[in-house]
Structure 1
Amino acid sequence: MVSIALFGAGRIGQVHADNLLSIPDITLSALADPVASEARESLLARSGASLREPEAIFSDPDIDAYVIASPTDTHARFLHLAARTGKPVFCEKPVSLEFAQVVETARIIQHAGSPVMLGFQRRYDPEFMQLRQSIASGEAGRAQHIVMHTRDPAPPPLAYIQSSGGLFRDQAIHDFDMTRYLLDEEIVSVSATGACLIDPAIGAAGDIDTAMITLRASSGRLVQMINARHAAFGYDQRLEVVCERAVFTIRNHPATQIVRADAQGFLTAPPVSNFITRFASAYRAEMKAFHAMIVSGVKPLATMQDGVEAQRLAEAALLSMQENRPVSVRELG
């Protein structure tokens, strides 16, 4: 049996825990979360894990690997402690809200040789994986540009906004990562603009709730990203890749496939209500991939360096918006 320790019993921690517990070869042995809650107690009860302090977990030789799903401001510290053990780690994004700390943590991980997988679950979504294969095969000719839409069904709580690091680091970072994954090349320049058009409280907290971002890849190919904290019809996650001989589209997933038709027209269901439901299969595949990394050394699709590069683009977007100019990614080191 593979013994796993989980850090964080919040929403995403619960998702990862349930997916880990569905793998026969895995046992959830320890949980670290200082916040008493019904969710934490429920997880402890159904998993049989013991509630322990982080230091005790990292010093336990019987723990085989770690899943870090705690608040962002703890990620770097836990990664540093994990690096000392050399054991496999899964860590949610971002590694830190301070880019210099992200780079330094990546350096420590590389020096230690610790296997680390980053939480970019879209890389494990069947549709995104198939799309990447189609682009790479060249069957439709060279990919020319990409248009991406990501909108939440509703703004998150204000407390979350205040600790999230902002729209670029929190929400758009998945799109930055997906751009690199699909095009299989680096982005060289970023031009971003944003505003608070949905919830004035978000603006008062120092963030934006609506953004448009244009990326230029090293080959000259272009990406247009549209991000927002609200869509009137629900969770909005769409993508279009324009190639020479075809256009590939990933659409929203409807809550049901039933279509009602009458004299007024055709009525379809709205999209699924949140990203956890939309990417449920991707989250399951992600934990299976982590298990394969632990037991067989299979390299993950999302590495520590992918986390660095995705956040580098987020930082470039923030700088572009603040200074109202295109930003060369080289400016971020």
Structure 2
Amino acid sequence: MIELAVFGAGRIGHVHALNAAAHPSVRLKYIVDPVPSEAHERLAAETGADMVDTEMVFSDADISGVVIASSTDTHAELLLRAAESGKAVFCEKPVSLDFATVARVSRVVEEAGIACLLGFQRRYDPNFRFVRDRIVSGQAGALEHIVMHTRDPSPPPRAYVERSGGMFRDQAIHDFDMARYLLGEEIATVYAAGNSLIDPEIAAAGDIDTAMITLTSVSGRFVQMINCRRAPFGYDQRLEALCSREVLYVENRPQRGVMIADAEGFHSSTPMNYFIERFADAYRAEMHAFVDMIETGAKPLAGIRDGLEAQRIAEAAIVSMKTGTAVHITPDWNP
């Protein structure tokens, strides 16, 4: 039986704690969250975990791995503690809002040799995995270009925006990662345009709510990204991959898989409410992959290096938006 600890009992920490506790090979021993609340106590009771502090986790030799789902400003230090203590780690993105810190922590984690999974959950979604597998197998033919749409159902509150690191580091980083994952190669140039067209509070916080980004891979293939903080019909997350023999589509998942037809037309359900619901299967698969990584040494679909490279693209997009020019990325490019 593997013993794990989860840092953070908020929205995504709650998901990971429940998934860990439900795994047949796992005992969720600890939950760490410095903000006491009844919700956190209920989560601990539901999962059978004890609420403890950070020192208790890293001093316990029986803890095989830690899940870092706490606030972004804690990720880097917890990753360093995991590397020092030799514990496997599953960390939500981003590692830090400071790119130099991301690079430093990534280097330490790699040199320590600990098992590390980065939380790019779309890689574990069955539909995205199907697209990737069909491309890699050659069935779809050569991948030529990708179009991605990512729109939240409504703008986040200003307090969230102010600590999120901005739209590119917070939301679009998943698309940057998926571009690398599907292309199977690095991005060479980034051109980004963005504005605040939806919520004046986001503009007042110094961020954008609408963006269009064009990526060019090292072999000259294109990715077009459309990102927005609002979709009037709900969470909008779609992908189109144009290949030489097939076009592969990942569409929104409806809340109800039934279409109703009457005299007024055909009526389908709205999409799933948000990413927690949409990617529920992917989050469960991530936890299984984390356990498998600890038990068998299986390589994760997303590691610390993937977090570094996705954020490198995000930083380049920020520079591009500010300068109005395309940014050329090299393996050692820094903002």
> What is the aligned partner in structure 1 of residue 272 from structure 2?
272
Q: CA deviation at 1:166?
A: 0.5
Q: CA deviation at 1:61?
A: 1.0
RMSD between aligned residues: 0.9
Using the alignment, how far apart are the partners of 2:62 and 2:140 within structure 1? Answer: 50
1:171-190 aligned at under 5 Å gives the runs 171-190=171-190
Secondary structure in structure 2 of the residue aligned to 1:238 = strand
Runs of 4+ more than 6 Å apart: none
> What is the aligned partner in structure 2 of residue 282 from structure 1?
282
| 1:99 maps onto 2:99 in alignment | yes
Measured against aligned partners, the alpha-carbon deviations of 1:172-227 in whole angstroms (never above 9, x if no partner) come to: 00000000001101000000000001100000000000000000001100000000
Tell me the amino acid that sits aligned with residue 254 of structure 2: P
Using the alignment, how far apart are the partners of 2:140 and 2:272 within structure 1? Answer: 30
Secondary structure in structure 2 of the residue aligned to 1:141 = coil
Tell me the amino acid that sits aligned with residue 320 of structure 1: S
Secondary structure in structure 2 of the residue aligned to 1:64 = strand
> What is the aligned partner in structure 2 of residue 198 from structure 1?
198
Using the alignment, how far apart are the partners of 1:280 and 1:94 within structure 2? Answer: 20
Q: CA deviation at 1:326?
A: 0.1
Q: CA deviation at 1:170?
A: 0.3
Q: CA deviation at 1:48?
A: 2.1
| 1:159 maps onto 2:175 in alignment | no
1:18-29 aligned at under 5 Å gives the runs 18-29=18-29
Q: CA deviation at 1:43?
A: 1.1
Tell me the amino acid that sits aligned with residue 29 of structure 2: S
Of 316-325 and 138-147, deviating more is 138-147
Task: Give the TM-score, by structure 2 length.
Answer: 0.98
| 1:322 maps onto 2:322 in alignment | yes
Secondary structure in structure 2 of the residue aligned to 1:103 = helix
Secondary structure in structure 1 of the residue aligned to 2:31 = strand
Using the alignment, how far apart are the partners of 2:141 and 2:84 within structure 1? Answer: 46
Using the alignment, how far apart are the partners of 2:47 and 2:126 within structure 1? Answer: 28
Using the alignment, how far apart are the partners of 2:56 and 2:282 within structure 1? Answer: 31
Task: Give the TM-score, by structure 1 length.
Answer: 0.98
Q: CA deviation at 1:268?
A: 0.7
Secondary structure in structure 2 of the residue aligned to 1:270 = coil
Q: CA deviation at 1:80?
A: 0.5
> What is the aligned partner in structure 1 of residue 146 from structure 2?
146
> What is the aligned partner in structure 2 of residue 6 from structure 1?
6
Aligned residue pair count: 333
Tell me the amino acid that sits aligned with residue 43 of structure 2: L
> What is the aligned partner in structure 1 of residue 50 from structure 2?
50
Q: CA deviation at 1:230?
A: 0.4
> What is the aligned partner in structure 1 of residue 61 from structure 2?
61
Secondary structure in structure 2 of the residue aligned to 1:332 = coil
> What is the aligned partner in structure 2 of residue 332 from structure 1?
333
Using the alignment, how far apart are the partners of 1:252 and 1:289 within structure 2? Answer: 24
Q: CA deviation at 1:37?
A: 1.8
> What is the aligned partner in structure 2 of residue 210 from structure 1?
210
Using the alignment, how far apart are the partners of 1:164 and 1:332 within structure 2? Answer: 23
